[in-house]
Amino acid sequence: MKVYYAPQSRAVRTVWLLEEIGQPYTLEKFQLGQKEMRGPEYTRINPNGRVPTLVDGDVTLSESTAIAQYLAAKYAPALAPGPQEANFAEFLQWLHYAEGMIMPPINNYVVETILLPPDRRNEEIAMRALKLLNRTLSAAEQHMEGRDFLSGGFTIADTITGHAVIMARRLGADFSPLPNLSSYADRLEARPAFKAAEDV
């Protein structure tokens, strides 16, 4: 199994999950923005030239949530509740919350504060993205009242939406009114598998 990876990207989610389930893998490492990510060798594998990409035998996947669902189904079904379980709908809601709600404003904020050259950045767009991000985090804060994880015990939802929460905090979202999410992010960052994923 091979993972195409870059630090501080969604690829951390994939390596984190592989570390959690103890599944061996090899890494092909990039840095975000590296020209080889857009080169013909890699775009034959992932035409979007982005990470992560997982190659497992004749299977190639490049969406981090799809990768998580695939790995859980094939190697760690206990990390993904099924339709027969009481928390199934809740699990699905929070598995997809990252990409549906948290990541769009994060993406806009990163573009306007990091990726664009200073003369092309728009502070109004950046602040609007940050305001929307704080609103999406507030909904997650309410959900996390009295909980350790998003849906019962630790699941792949935590490697996806939990990772988005961690990234939001690192990018400067206001966590002062979010004690539940602050504790949650601390718990996730303390997991040995998460630390291993960041250290690869």
111 in Cβ contact with 130 (< 8 Å) = no
Query: For residue 149, which amino acid is it?
Result: F
Q: How confident is the model at residue 112 (pLDDT cuts 50, 70, 90)?
A: very high
The 8-class DSSP code of residue 36 comes to: G
Report whether pLDDT(1) > 90: yes
Measured at the CA of 172, the angle between CA 177 and CA 166, to 5 degrees, comes to 80
**Residue 32: what pLDDT?**
87
User: Could you tell me the fold of the domain covering 2-79?
Assistant: Glutaredoxin (3.40.30)
Residue 97 confidence (pLDDT) above 90: yes
Per-residue confidence (pLDDT) for residue 70, from 0 to 100: 98
Query: CA distances (Å), 80 to each of 15, 90, 103, in order?
Result: 17, 11, 21
pLDDT at 142: 98
pLDDT of residue 16: 98
pLDDT of residue 45: 97
Residue 129 Cα distances to 96, 170, 198, angstroms: 19, 15, 26
| Distance, CA of 48 to CA of 94 (rounded, Å) | 26
8-state DSSP, 119: G
Model confidence band, residue 115 (pLDDT cutoffs 50, 70, 90): confident
Task: For 88-197, give the CATH class.
Answer: mainly alpha
Nearest alpha-carbon partner for 23 in 52, 50, 2, 51: 2
pLDDT of 136: 97
- Over residues 137-181, the pLDDT tens digits come to 999 999 999 999 999 999 999 999 999 999 999 999 999 999 999
Q: What is the mean predicted confidence (pLDDT) over 94-123? A: 95
Where are the alpha helices (H) located in 11-155, listed in sequence order? 11-21, 40-43, 64-75, 88-95, 97, 103-110, 123-143
Give the model's pLDDT for residue 46: 97
Give the pLDDT confidence score for residue 33 in this predicted structure.
83
pLDDT tens digits, 22-63: 999 999 999 988 999 999 999 999 999 999 999 999 999 999
Mean pLDDT of the chain: 96
Spans of all domains in the chain: 2-79, 88-197
The answer to whether 41 and 64 have CB atoms below 8 angstroms apart is no
Q: Would the pLDDT of 190 be above 90?
A: yes
Q: Cα(187)–Cα(149) distance, rounded to whole angstroms?
A: 9
For residue 53, report the phi and psi dihedrals to the nearest 5 degrees: -130, 135
